[in-house]
Structure 1
Amino acid sequence: MKIFIDEISDVVKSTFEELGYDKESGKVTVSNRPDLCQYQCNGALANAKRYKKAPSVIAQEIVEKLKENKFFSKLEIAGPGFINITVNDKLIIDYVNKMNNDEKFGTSSATKVKKIFVDYGGANVAKPLHIGHLRSAIIGESIKRIAKFIGHDVIGDVHLGDWGLQMGMVISEVERRNPNLPYFNEGFTGEYPKEAPFTIDELEEIYPYASSLAKNDEKVMNAAKQATLELQQGREGYLALWKHILNVSVNDLKKNYGALNVDFELWNGESDAQKFIPDMIKYLKDNRYCYESEGALVIDVSKEEDKSALPPLLLLKSDGASLYGTTDLATVVERVRNYKADEIIYLADKRQGLHYEQFFRAAKKSGIAGENVELDFIGFGTMNGKDGKPFKTREGGVMRLADLINLIKEAGKEKLKGNKNISAGDVEEISSKVGLAALKYGDLSNQASKDYIFDIDRFASFEGNTGPYILYTIVRIKSILNKANTSELTENVLEPQSDTERNLMLQLIKFNEVIELSFRERAPHKICEYVYELSNNFNKFYNDTRILYEEDENKKISWLVLITLVKDVLEQCLDLLGMESVEKM
């Protein structure tokens, strides 16, 4: 379905063109004074100088012509030449009913289906997920879901950090603690143990200890670097131990990501790109895209128009070891060659913007990412505490993501305490969904690039612009529908009986526009804005209308059809944000 406001714009643009004025200036926007009109057009002012006419004269011509069209119920000229537009209710009703009969509520599928990769920023194995991983996970998941809903072929890749120095640190630390394990005996010829020599809890203690030790002991750091090099060169014992690290970590990561309702089509890591690196380096050398600098291999990415020169991208260190840039480039090789990617979307802290600019330029300059391959970086801000600093535990440490999820879940339980409508057996499931909605909506309702304050009390509130408020609105609608005790509603929505009903419809019909805008701008917060306004409009309509007590059966059924559509649209939006509705609250 065509976006509703675009349908109106097309009529007004055609009128501008028919009367000899610039067509594009006839663009219609939502009114910033809804008390006066629904839409407005300021095109008369834009044409005044060019056509040497007063804008009020041009506006009058446009209005007189538009009055011939049944689209509009009211047209007025305001100020120096603004055109205020109110559309015919029939146009709104027809659009709402079309939405109701469309499985995607009027959202058109992409005319050109793209193969899109969403790269979630690379959680490191051997480390617990912490709150720094929250934003890439939930923003990435929402963007992936929106793209799929639009009709694109989307692959979410966790892109694990599983091949760098942290692996060498863990391996060398395990050797210091258990030197007799077969992984460290180069002469071992038997079968390596199937069970890992550590649990996830032990593994999560090993890495920070080894990292801290290496920073203060050059001998320990050199041992870690040597272990990393030997791992990357294929030492069998180290590879076997590395696989244990990976398996134990991934099982724990899947549990934690699952608790966030986040899933991946691919569980690839930096290690999966290693096989592409030798040929890629040869290609870059043969085509003179890279050169040696102080023993390292680099590729120059600066441009003449740069106000300050970008440093070159480091491909190989002097000892031949690869780096993040090498792996990232090789991953593009894989995604373009093996998966035919049209677009790759990366999510990471915005402070990593320089790295992504460097390797994007390298990928484009070298042709690794061809002209038709789009590389997009979504840099997100920091989740801060009420003191404006990065959110910490009470003890001042970085909070584990699992602890944060439990914290918000307990806040959900607290809100449900004493609710007699919820059985003890349902509390766990409902509080999990309410808590997750509080957490994810609290994050996603902010523009991704902005820092925001994590306020558990505000996020968990059933009032205001929060996830629980949206859930509560859906529960209220479900309660009405249950009390109505109707079978499947197949009737159409009728003419609105009040301003609150009309405003609810006008908000509903923005759905496809918001979804397309959210995808185009990579902006899940636009959906949050939409569902909050839709919930507000519904609640005003609910307070203004005695739905279940209406004696006119046609009106009553029309209202039930309308609020069913509102519920379905709200639930669809929640799904696109990675949340689930509940039956009771």
Structure 2
Amino acid sequence: MSDLQSTLESRLQQAVSAALGPDHADADPVIRPSNNPKFGDYQANLAMALGKKLGQKPRDVAEKIVDALDSDGLFIRVEIAGPGFINLTLDPALLSTQAAAMSADANLGIAQADPQQTVVIDYSAPNVAKEMHVGHLRSTVIGDALARTFDAVGLKTIRQNHLGDWGTQFGMLITNLLDTGFDPHAPGSDNASPGELTKIYKAAKLRFDNEPEFVERARQRVVLLQAGDEETLAVWKALVEDSKQYFDTVYQRLNVLIQPEDAKGESFYNDRLPGVIERLEQEGRLQKSQGADVVYAGDFKDRDGEPLPMIVRKADGGYLYATTDLAAAMYRAHDLGASRVVYVIGLPQKQHVEMFTTMLYEYGWIEKSVRMDFVGFGSVLGKDKKMFKTRSGETIRLVDLIDEAEAKAEAAIAEKNPDLPEDERKAVAQAVGVGALKYADLSSDRVKDYVFDWDRMLALEGNTAPYLLYSYARIRSIFRKGEIDFDGLASDQLAVSEPAERGLVLQLLQFAGVVENVADTLEPHRLCNYLYELATRYHRFFEQCPVLKAEDEATKQSRLALCHLTARTLDRGLGLLGIQVVERM
């Protein structure tokens, strides 16, 4: 919690204790920033709940609290509105002090977790030997933004890329490669291009769908793979290495921090799967259903209202995703020491995650103190409100989407700023294009589908990445125009006198609280909304409060300090979303 928010809550709780007795001292003050300046800077709505609890009119309760409230050094005006809302207007001197403290803090007021806890976040998870497509965009960028936010609040963040690197499909892939004379030990065997990976998969799938003899050999190859056959494993390792190198190039282009060493694919848990089944057997939880081994937990029902089983071993002895997910969850909780595990997966997987999470808690396999979070998300749709695909109906490759984003951004920049040097134009286009792509995703409430629209996401107006990046660039242009060293500015002298200054400072001071809230709620769009409002208030300030032509030097320095703090906050906030700022557009 930010210092200002905690100070306000503490002062209100002291007033509640004095007015209503210590039994009510822990009442939630329900303090929120005001949506309208005429209702003060903050509004406290605690009188509603307290009135109901005490059997008194909320307004009468509010009057008692206000009478007991110590406003010294904090509020210049406290008013009761409506049925019992308490409107609080802060002392300008307090705002100046708080803004200066935020400016002096390299972390911009974001509190650090104490004691430090470990959070494991599972995201992206592409499949080996397949190209990443638009369907991987949401998990990758949402997961990256949340991981960066966990880092920012001082958590020990362990990224896990649960690659699809095991299963029956590798039987057909390896068999087809060996049929073509592939040598896994030859130089360059682990350097296949993304296009080659796609061809390998399509060729193998075509044969699998049309050649019964090939199908049988592919199944035998799966057995060899699981048994650790040297030749089979060598081909499999080459495929995995090719894919990891390709994934890394995509992550770098997207400015996503996940690293090759963060990959913990399905194969990593192979040795743990027999132990999962053995433990279920020992605890008497395993049941048979049509020859398969299943377990039950919670109150999950199928469409007929019957208890819904989770299959953990097929009739042929093969393991399933559920078995791997159970093993992975225990590895993360016990081996990695996670106090929180976050799964960034599409909404269709919600029941699956809830089922194995319920099993883990009910069976006592992980402590209930370990927080298991499902971060579900909707789909990316085309303008026709159907799944976003190419005109020919094929899934859109992620690299093609990145290419198009950068090309469209470069064309727009060349039109608006034709004098920008080519190398700088390309660098700016990369930041703006990829930033627009990611921000369009992150600014939407993740549980909802969103329509992919280039015109909207690349617009210089509205809640878009280009608008926020332009806001940052506009601030940097002030410093260039005034020949002022941005990094060397002494920004501890901030005066708050004009309404536009006040509005900007009030928004700045909410930054830490918003970041901490995102780390808790796992909703990145809240940070996007905050940054958009910050940029909007900055432009209002810029239009109403001259900076370089301020009436005196003290005012000029104060407003430069406000510009400086706003730029740093935009930079940090966009950075948490994985978006790079640019100094010129």
Please classify the TM superposition score into its range, dividing by the shorter chain length: over 0.9
Give the Å deviation of 1:213: 4.7
Matched, 1:349 2:346: yes
Structure 1 residue 339: Cα displacement: 2.0
Counterpart of 1:531 in structure 2 is: 531
Pick from 89, 100, 121 the counterpart of residue 97 of structure 1. Answer: 100
5 Å-filtered alignment, 1:249-268, equals 249-265=243-259, 266-268=262-264
Shift of 1:150: 0.6
Distance 1:132 1:138 in 2: 11
Cα distance in 1 for partners of 2:307, 2:419 equals 61
Distance 2:68 2:11 in 1: 11
Structure 1 stretch 447-456 or stretch 64-73: which is displaced more? 64-73
DSSP-derived class of the 2:125 partner? coil
Please report how far the alpha carbon of residue 83 of structure 1 lies from its aligned counterpart in structure 2 after TM superposition.
2.2
What does 1:277-356 align with in structure 2 at a 5 Å threshold?
277-303=273-299, 308=305, 311-356=308-353
In 2: Cα distance, 1:318 partner to 1:332 partner = 24
Distance 2:287 2:57 in 1: 64
For 1:464-483, list aligned pairs within 5 A.
464-483=462-481
Matched, 1:408 2:405: yes
The alpha carbon displacement at 1:120 in A equals 1.1
1:241-268 deviations in Å (ceiling 9; x for gaps):
1111111111111111111111324122
| Structure 2: distance between partners of 1:166 and 1:509 | 53
What amino acid sits opposite 2:237 in the alignment? K
Q: Is the 8 A contact 1:297 1:318 kept in 2?
A: yes
Three-state SS of the structure 2 residue aligned to 1:19 is helix
2:59 paired with 1:63: no
Check 1:131–1:508 CA distance in 2 against 1; reply closer, same or farther (3 A cut). same
Q: 1:115 aligns with which of 110, 118, 131?
A: 118
Contact 1:342–1:372, Cα closer than 8 Å, also in 2: yes
Among 161, 186, 189, the alignment partner of 1:193 is 186
Compared CA separation, residues 304 and 44, structure 1 to 2 (3 A): same
Amino acid at match of 1:206: I
Residue of structure 1 in register with 2:447 after alignment: 449
Unpaired segments ≥5 residues, structure 2: none
Change (3 A) 1:306 1:317: closer
State whether residues 433 and 582 of structure 1, in contact with CA within 8 Å, keep that contact through their aligned partners in structure 2. Answer: yes
**Residue of structure 2 equivalent to 1:186:** none
Secondary structure of the 2:429 match is helix
* Cα deviation, residue 96, structure 1: 0.7
SS at match of 1:417: helix
In the superposition, relative to structure 1, how do residues 274 and 380 fare at CA in structure 2: closer, same or farther (>3 Å)?
same
Please say if residues 251 and 258 of structure 2, whose CA atoms lie closer than 8 Å, have aligned partners that are also in contact. no
Q: In the alignment, what sits opposite 2:208?
A: 214
Alignment partner for residue 39 of structure 2, among 36, 39, 44? 36
CA deviations on 1:314-361 (whole Å, 9 max, x unpaired) are: 222122111211222222233334322222211111111122122222
The corresponding residue for 1:490 is 490
Amino acid of the structure 2 residue aligned with 1:193: A
1:206-245 matches, within 5 Å, as 206-215=200-209, 219-245=213-239
| Higher mean displacement: 69-78 or 142-151 | 69-78
Letter in structure 1 aligned against 2:354: E
Which digits, 9 at most, give the CA deviation of each residue in 1:292-332, with x for residues without a partner?
33332222224389995552222221221112112222222
CA distance in 1, matches of 2:324, 2:55: 60
What is the alpha-carbon root mean square deviation over aligned residues?
A: 2.3
User: Which residue type is aligned with residue 342 of structure 1?
Assistant: S
What CA distance in whole angstroms lies between the structure 2 residues aligned with 1:306 and 1:210? 35
Once residues 377 and 547 of structure 2 are traced to their aligned partners in structure 1, the CA distance between those partners, rounded to angstroms, is: 43
Indicate the residue corresponding to 1:564 in structure 2.
564
Deviation per CA, 1:51-107, whole angstroms, max 9, x where unpaired?
A: 454444333333333375332111222223322221111111111111111111111
Equivalent positions of 1:70-85 (< 5 A) are 70-85=73-88
What SS does structure 2 have at the residue aligned with 1:581?
coil
Q: Offset of 1:221 from its aligned partner?
A: 4.1
Q: CA deviation at 1:13?
A: 2.4
> Deviation at 1:119?
0.9
Structure 2 matches for 1:113-192, cutoff 5 A? 113-176=116-179, 178=180, 180=181, 192=185
Letter in 1 for 2:248: K
Q: Which residue of 2 aligns with 1:187?
A: none
**Using the alignment, how far apart are the partners of 1:113 and 1:566 within structure 2?**
29
TM-score (norm 2): 0.93
Contact 1:13 1:27 in 2 (8 A): no
- Tell me the secondary structure at the aligned position of residue 312 of structure 2: strand
1:387-419 per-position Cα deviation (integer Å, ceiling 9, x unaligned): 111111122210000000011111111210131
With 165-174 and 268-277 compared, the bigger mean Cα shift is at: 165-174
Q: Is contact 1:155–1:264 with CA below 8 Å preserved after alignment? A: no
Greater mean deviation of Cα atoms: 484-493 or 107-116: 484-493
SS in structure 1 opposite 2:131?
coil
Q: TM-score if structure 1 supplies the norm length?
A: 0.93
**Matched residue, 1:460:** 458
Equivalent position SS for 1:86: strand
User: Quick check: 1:302–1:310 contact (8 Å CA) kept in 2?
Assistant: no
CA distance in 2, matches of 1:35, 1:517: 26
Q: How far off its partner does 1:193 sit?
A: 3.0
Equivalent position SS for 2:374: strand
Q: Compute the displacement of 1:454 (Å).
A: 0.8
Provide the rounded CA distance (Å) in 1 between the counterparts of 2:541 and 2:147.
Answer: 33
> 1:131 deviation in Å?
0.3
- Select between 227-236 and 44-53 the one with higher mean Cα deviation: 44-53
Decide whether the 8 Å contact of 2:491 with 2:564 is kept in 1.
no
Moved more, 94-103 or 41-50: 41-50
SS in 2 for 1:507: helix
Q: Which amino acid aligns with 1:550?
A: A
Post-superposition shift, 1:575? Answer: 1.0
CA distance in 2, matches of 1:496, 1:39: 17
Paired residues, number: 575
The alpha-carbon distance between structure 1 residues 51 and 153, as it changes in their structure 2 partners (threshold 3 A), is closer
Distance 2:548 2:268 in 1: 59
Moved more, 367-376 or 127-136: 367-376
Q: Describe the shift of the 1:182–1:534 C-alpha distance in structure 2 as closer, same or farther (beyond 3 A).
A: closer
User: What stretches of structure 1 of length at least 5 have no aligned partner?
Assistant: 184-191
- Is 1:391 the counterpart of 2:388? The answer is yes
1:359 equivalent in structure 2: 356
Distance change >3 Å, CA 364–CA 72, structure 1 → 2: same
Local SS of the residue matching 2:165: coil
Identify the residue that residue 427 of structure 2 maps to in structure 1.
429
Following superposition, the deviation at residue 223 of structure 1 comes to: 3.8
- For residue 436 of structure 1, give the secondary structure of its aligned residue in structure 2: helix
Any idea what the Cα deviations from partners look like across 1:531-582, whole Å, max 9, x if unmatched? 1000000010001111101241111011111110110111011111011001
221-230 or 11-20: bigger deviation: 221-230
